[in-house]
Amino acid sequence: MTAEPRFTSSLHANARFVAQRLLLKPLVWSLTRVTVTGRERLSGVTGPYIVVANHQSHLDAPLVVGAMPRRLSRYLAAGVAADYFFDVPARRIFAALFFNAFPVDRSGDRKRAGVSRELLESGVPILIFPEGGRSRTGELGRFKPGAAALATRQGIPCLPVAVLGTHSAMPKGRNWPVPGRPPVRVVFGQPIHPQPNETPVQLMDRVVAEIVALRASVEPGAHVSIDTPRKEAG
């Protein structure tokens, strides 16, 4: 199977460079105070991989993509909620241009199942927010094991990323960050590879544990709890 040309096209990648690095990143970085930690942990990463991040805000994808080294984000495709971004033409165009986005169904009907696998088989790395929606409180939600199942099936690593502060900076219901350049942080962890005979649930448990540890590493003494699952837009 091969992905749609836009996912692997160098022409599209160059257009995304302009959109992401010359337009979106300067805007987001000017509206928030961004701290990035752990980029050195990505130095040995090559080939397809799955970026797994917690989800607090619509700021998360711009921050994760903007904080990643360019060599890793050039073809990165972000999984976004099909019912929010792909049902409205303007949002679909925006998501495709800025994030190389592909639709993720949250309804369970699986009509778009297989897109993420097709991308990985074509060598395209993907960004997934396994909670399925933005956190209501800023705490971690329940991580679905789909990304870990893909990593196990393809034999590729998950790259855990902790995003902090974006719930306060731009909570659900706002279309723009709060005034005053609120602090936000992106923390990259060590790549986590599937182990022999490891189940997707076990792999995802390791990824979540790393994200919890990353949060604690920059917020010493902070309590991290797990929210009850709840579907939310984007």
What pLDDT is stored for residue 232 in this prediction?
A: 37
What pLDDT is stored for residue 107 in this prediction?
A: 57
Q: Note the pTM of the prediction, 2 decimals.
A: 0.89
Handedness of CA 124, 127, 132, 134 (dihedral sign): negative
What pLDDT is stored for residue 59 in this prediction?
A: 96
Rounded distance between C-alpha atoms, residue 208 and residue 60, angstroms = 17
What pLDDT is stored for residue 136 in this prediction?
A: 79
Question: Which residue ranges of the chain lie beneath pLDDT 50?
Answer: 1, 109, 223, 225, 227-234
Rounded distance between C-alpha atoms, residue 172 and residue 136, angstroms = 8
User: Are 148 and 200 within 8 A, CB to CB?
Assistant: yes
What pLDDT is stored for residue 164 in this prediction?
A: 96
Which tens digit of pLDDT belongs to each residue from 34-77? 999 999 999 999 989 999 999 999 999 999 999 999 999 999 99
**What residues contact 175, with CB distance under 8 A and at least 6 apart?**
none
Ordered domains of the chain (ranges, CATH): 5-218 (3.40.1130.10)
